[in-house]
Amino acid sequence: MALPILIVEDDPDGQEMVAHIMRHLGVAHDVVGDAEKAIHKLMAGEHFQAVIIDLALPGKDGWELLSEIRENPETQDLTCIAITAYHTSKTREEALHSGFNAYFSKPLDATHFARELAAIL
């Protein structure tokens, strides 16, 4: 059985959309609303096959969360996927250059997102 995916999204509608796609794909998942909760889960030894991170989180943003994941030897190779409603081609380029494995703009196209996510995983 594959490891679950951690969804880090503060917006309830965004949480439900990504969770719905995970259920459709038959992928186990866990949802948290901020970077601090995500870090707690990751540092507590919970294992995930990927983390889907909203870039505009309250408190620590998605960029800071990615940095913490990449700086920790236990999580540095974890697949990290950026999602954002504040899409520009520059943001996409920066996200991929910063170490995200993939980038998607919101609102998510469920079919495209599911297909790409399946290919990444």
> Closest Cα partner for 96 from 120, 72, 60?
120
Range of the domain at 52: 1-13+46-64
Number of domain units in the chain = 1
Do the domain assignments include residue 1?
yes
Query: Tens digits of per-residue pLDDT, 9-46?
Result: 999 999 999 999 999 889 999 999 999 999 999 999 88
Do the domain assignments include residue 55?
yes
Do the domain assignments include residue 8?
yes
Strand ranges for the chain from DSSP E: 5-8, 29-32, 50-54, 79-84, 102-105
Do the domain assignments include residue 50?
yes
Tell me the whole-structure pTM to 2 decimals.
0.95
Do the domain assignments include residue 30?
no
Do the domain assignments include residue 5?
yes
Q: Which residues contact 10 (CB under 8 A, 6 or more apart)?
A: 33, 34, 54, 56, 57, 58
Q: Which two tokens stand for residue 67?
A: 């940095």
